[in-house]
């Protein structure tokens, strides 16, 4: 068999048909659309990774919702700085970002800006998992007010910030109490806590 003669005969029909350049152009438009769609999907995926995956991986998870929600305290502290909000973990600044929260504590009328993290509600209050926040300069320490009316887990305020993750009470917590240099309760968060010792003449401090 002479295969070199057989080769052209394999594909006789392919030679004669006319081309269709308009069909090529239509297909090219589809290629461009598909490429755009792929780029869009890749961009969205990249954005999701940047917002959802990377922050927790870098240990700065949960800061994003905090920009918009203030009703669910987290363990991160946001303080107003020039041009934005500074996010700190404990006492360590992580990032400064634009933020829209109109007023940030601590102020004289709102001396505790508490971002403590609470667990599930229990009868008589919520159990605290971590305490963290910012305090005005006249507050030297904070303590937890238990549902039983006891002050415990006293934590020193340093550089206007407080944070504690260990030796926290397992009992329900009613409020965070700010203490001045002499240990006298001067503020409660929330201020409306029924047993807030600020309205009382005396209280006992625990640790």
Partner 1 sequence: MKGSGADPAMLRALYERSLCDFRRVAAAVVGSVDDGEDVVQDAFAKALARRRQYRGESSLEAWVWQIVLNEAKSQSQRRKRRWRRLEADRAGGVRPRDDERSAVRDALAQLPERERLAVFLRYFADLDYAQIAAVLDVQTGTVGASLSSGRARLGRLLVEGDGR
Closest approach, Cβ 41 to partner 1, in A, equals 18
> 36 or 69, CB closer to partner 1?
36
Residues that bind partner 1 (CB under 8 A): 1, 3-4, 6-11, 13-17, 19-21, 23-32, 35
Closest CB 85 distance from partner 1, rounded Å: 43
Nearer to partner 1, 15 or 103 (CB): 15
Smallest gap from Cβ 163 to partner 1, in A, equals 54
Shortest reach from residue 11's CB to partner 1, in Å:
5
Kindly report the CA angle at 165 between 161 and 169, in degrees rounded to 5? 115
Q: Please state, in angstroms and rounded to a whole number, the distance separating the CA atoms of residues 3 and 148.
A: 99
Within 8 A by CB and 6+ apart from 161, the residues are 77, 88, 90, 91, 132, 133, 134, 135
Instruction: Return the number of the residue (30 or 108) whose C-beta is nearest partner 1.
Output: 30
User: d(Cα 124, Cα 51) in Å, to the nearest integer?
Assistant: 37
Residue 40 Cβ vs partner 1, minimum distance, rounded to whole Å: 16
Nearer to partner 1, 1 or 103 (CB): 1
Residue 30 φ/ψ, nearest 5 degrees: -65, -40
> Rounded to whole angstroms, how far apart are CA atoms 150 and 174?
10
Query: How many beta carbons lie within 10 A of that of residue 204, not counting itself?
Result: 9
Q: How far is the CB of 82 from partner 1 (least distance, A)?
A: 44
Pick from 117, 149, 138: nearest CA to 183: 138
Closest CA to 162 of 114, 204, 129: 114
Of the pair 36, 101, the CB lying nearest partner 1 is at 36
Which residue, 34 or 91, is less far from partner 1 as judged by CB?
34
């Amino acid at each position: 068999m002479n295969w070199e003669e057989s080769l052209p005969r394999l594909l006789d029909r392919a030679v004669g048909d006319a081309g269709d350049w308009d069909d090529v152009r239509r297909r090219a438009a589809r290629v461009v659309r598909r490429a755009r769609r792929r780029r869009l999907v890749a961009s969205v995926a990249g954005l999701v990774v940047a917002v959802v995956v990377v922050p927790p991986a870098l240990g700065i998870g949960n800061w994003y919702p905090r920009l918009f929600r203030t009703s669910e305290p987290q363990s991160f502290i946001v303080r107003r700085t020039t041009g934005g909000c500074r996010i700190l973990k404990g006492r360590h600044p992580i990032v400064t970002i634009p933020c829209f929260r109109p007023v940030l504590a601590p102020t004289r009328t709102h001396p505790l800006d508490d971002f403590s993290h609470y667990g599930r509600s229990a009868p008589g209050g919520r159990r605290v998992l971590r305490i963290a926040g910012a305090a005005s300069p006249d507050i030297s320490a904070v303590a937890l007010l238990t549902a039983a009316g006891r002050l415990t887990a006293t934590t020193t305020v340093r550089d206007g910030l407080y944070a504690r993750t260990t030796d926290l009470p397992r009992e329900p917590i009613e409020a965070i109490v700010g203490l001045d240099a002499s240990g006298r309760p001067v503020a409660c968060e929330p201020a409306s806590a029924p047993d807030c010792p600020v309205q009382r003449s005396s209280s006992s401090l625990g640790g």
